[in-house]
Amino acid sequence: MKKRQKISSLFIALIAVIFFCTTTQAQPVTPISTTSINADYVRALFTADKFLSAWKNRSVEAGIALLSPEVKKKVSNDELVNYISGTSSPSHAAFEIKSGRKIANNRYAFEVKLYEYLYSATPEAQTWDCPQSAKIILVKTGVDNPKFRVGNWLVNELPTPCELILR
């Protein structure tokens, strides 16, 4: 009888452990972006990276070539040149691009951070205050033009650079 009680107790303990393990599982991780990755997403991301590389390298001609006509109408040419070329100090140092999302048909937005470096200050004295919602918006153009079979992605909204703070 004692042997049967031990087996019964072990069986009950085993069922309790299995029940406990199945009811306390970790919750699934929700993806950061619900945007499906497709050819348009990759092309928009490629254009964002290309534009921000032009910004970082101060390549005005390459940067302006990636801007939509809408941006060129809203922002003067001098302001666009100043935005891309920046100043000698602080100068454009780096950028980050996070996951993007489709915001409308033929439009994607990517969260970004643009960093600048002040040469006259020690690195330890510099910090950055980045806007919470800095983003670059891209629009697909030329869809009806046979020259662009897959459309042409252009920057439709410029991101705000992080503010450089000296301690």
Which tokens go with 167? 């301690």
pLDDT band at residue 47, thresholds of 50, 70 and 90?
Answer: very high
- pLDDT attached to residue 129: 81
38-56 burial, b at 16+ Cβ within 10 Å, e below that, comes to: eebbebbbebbebbbebbb
Could you read off the pLDDT of 53-100 as tens digits, one per residue?
999 999 999 999 999 999 999 999 999 999 999 887 788 889 999 999
Q: Give me the domains of the chain, ranges plus CATH numbers.
A: 35-166 (3.10.450.50)
Task: Among 5-19, 43-57, 88-102, 110-124, name the most confident range.
Answer: 43-57
**Model pLDDT for residues 120-138, shown as the tens digit of each residue:** 777 777 777 876 678 999 9
Contacts of 142-148 with CB under 8 Å at 24 or more apart are: 143/106
What's the pTM value of the predicted model, to 2 decimals?
A: 0.73
Q: 142, 68 in Cβ contact below 8 A?
A: no
pLDDT the model gives residue 127: 79
